[in-house]
Amino acid sequence: MSFRHRFDPTSLREYDIRGIVGKTLTAGDAYAIGRALGSVIARRGGTTVVVGHDGRLSSPGLESELVRGAMASGMAVTRLGCGPTPLLYYASVELEADGAVMVTGSHNPPDHNGFKMMLRSRPFFGAQIRELGHLCATGDVVPETTGSVRDLDMTDQYVRRLLRDWDGGTRSLHVVWDNGHSAAGRVLARLVKGLPGRHTVLNGEIDGHFPAHHPDPTIPENLGQLIDTVRRLHADIGLAFDGDADRIGVVDNTGQILWADQLLLVLARDVLRDHAGATVIADVKASQALFDAVDEAGGTPVMWGAGHSLIKSKMAETGALLAGEMSGHIFFADRWYGFDDALYAAVRLLGIVARLPGPLSDVRQALPVMVNTPELRFDCPDTRKFAVIDEVAGRLRAKGAKVSLIDGVRVSTDDGWWLLRASNTQAMLVARAESTTETGLARLKAELSAQLHESGIKAPDFSGGKPAAG
């Protein structure tokens, strides 16, 4: 039987394949992904694929078609069932799988879904995803055959491995967890039974409707229930996950949000106590205070492009022990495997908090204070967004400005810095600015707006902002 398939062009993203179910993402796409990725693996001499899915209503059906496609390319498929994306990553490493695919819509709305892929425990992204689309369009796949399939529940094994790295002190914590109806539900229920202290779990049931709130802990509104519960119960800390539990949100004992770059600094200081000089990576959206504080703590700070696949690849290249993104992805290679795992980051953070002489709020309040905008995303056509970045970079370099081009344009001045980058996944530009003073921030925002105006782009609404630390 001949095979050819064309994806909706909007679904082939930089880091994954993603779309709106029934519109830009279909069961046929799922089969094609299994067929093409299975062919890539087979041509590399591989035979095994691990597959998992999140709790979205569309995920079981997409997973079934994905498995069918992989088997048609001769793969021996191990099905993990419903669980968090980090469980798939863990299984891929432990089983030494040749490939892995997670069916997940991550932090997106309930009617969205997608596929995160790995090849020999390394991210499958960028040009590899574009090539997969080409293989499907041209029918360049291995001859159809029959593979095999088995079901394997690795939940208990994964939880035991998480608990092995608990390193807390004698202080007993009261922890509030907002599972957000995410795919981590079963794992979290078992994890809290193995951790010391008192645990209150909100929205523990896996529910693809996400009835409590949108499954994205980086948006403050989605942390409202967690904040209220921490304050009402006088808990020590609150933790939240996104839809597939590879992103984490944190609030301290007072209900104040610990932003991702602040969290990364707390984790980095702990890692650096045992590993002086270790490399710590953060994306271009992170506070300058983070990079400065990692350096002051004896570490080697590295700024890199945003995107979990890019960060993982840079970690492998540099041997970094820790990395993080403003989107809430935290990557540990210190005692862990180098992939983003909100459950593992939670265990490590709780260990730190349990060893503190005082509350987590004391640590947050002692962090360097900066004034910045939130991450601002605004529409710009795909055909224009990268050209705008090039235009801005060219004008700034002609003026002799201090510019980093790691990912978009990050401009440093005496007032602080501002960033403009093109989204790799949407028809949007992303902007952020940070200073030590409100006056300095106003000047940075004015500079950024002027550059956008010169390229014919309307500047975003810069109202709002938050104090933040590294």
The strand ranges marked E within 89-133 are 99-103, 112-119, 122-123
CA 106 to chain centre: 9
CA–CA gap between residue 321 and residue 37 (Å, rounded): 30
CA–CA gap between residue 421 and residue 137 (Å, rounded): 31
The strand ranges marked E within 33-192 are 48-53, 76-82, 99-103, 112-119, 122-123, 148-151, 174-178
Pairing state between β 257-258 and 402-404 = unpaired
Pairing state between β 409-413 and 402-404 = antiparallel
CA–CA gap between residue 300 and residue 245 (Å, rounded): 28
What is the Cβ-side half-sphere exposure of residue 326, based on CA atoms within 13 angstroms? 22
CA 290 to chain centre: 18
Three-state DSSP state, 263 = helix
Site of tokens 């099905």: 79
Contacts of 12 (CB under 8 A, 6+ apart): 129, 130, 132, 133
Are the C-beta atoms of residues 76 and 148 closer than 8 Å to each other? yes
Catalytic residue IDs: 106
